[in-house]
């Protein structure tokens, strides 16, 4: 699985609220934040907290390749593992690379269709 063997939830702040419209949501305004937390279930059925994945829409010119998204990976203990154009930026380059494949959709993948709940 893309984000490791994890279970995920996606959250969006108010600025990014159009995220719930999924592919129809259009381009995100600057300041949009989309966070995805994760946890995994071990063979003995214990729940283990996983990393927090964050995308934040930055002003134009922040980073052309990432579509001006800043990617941050926060470890379960709360420490920042890396962030685009910040400390340890190289550790989150793979985020940009993979999300770039979704550049037609403003670098967002959304929940896989098979897992969506229709309202």
Please list, in sequence order, all residues whose beta carbon lies within 8 angstroms of the beta carbon of residue 32, skipping any fewer than 6 positions away. 12, 13, 15, 16, 19, 56, 57
Q: Which of 83, 78, 77, 76 is nearest to 33 (CA)?
A: 83
Question: Contact between 59 and ligand HEC (CB under 6 A)?
Answer: no
Instruction: Indicate which single residue of 3, 15, 18, 80 sits in contact with ligand HEC (rule: CB under 6 A).
Output: 3
Site string for ligand HEC, 75-94 (x = CB under 6 A): -----------------x-x
In terms of CB distance, is 8 or 18 closer to ligand HEC? 8
- Give the shortest CB-56-to-ligand HEC separation in angstroms: 9
């Amino acid at each position: 699985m893309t984000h490791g063997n994890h279970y995920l939830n996606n959250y969006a702040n108010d600025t990014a609220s159009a995220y719930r419209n999924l592919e129809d949501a259009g381009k995100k305004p600057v300041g949009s934040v989309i966070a995805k937390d994760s946890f995994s279930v071990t063979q003995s059925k214990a729940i283990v907290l996983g990393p927090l994945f964050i995308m934040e829409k930055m002003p134009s010119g922040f980073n052309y390749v990432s579509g001006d998204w800043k990617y941050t990976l926060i470890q379960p203990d709360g420490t920042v593992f890396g962030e685009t154009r910040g400390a340890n930026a190289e550790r989150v380059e793979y985020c940009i690379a993979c999300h770039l494949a979704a550049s037609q959709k403003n670098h967002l993948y959304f929940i896989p269709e098979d897992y969506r709940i229709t309202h």
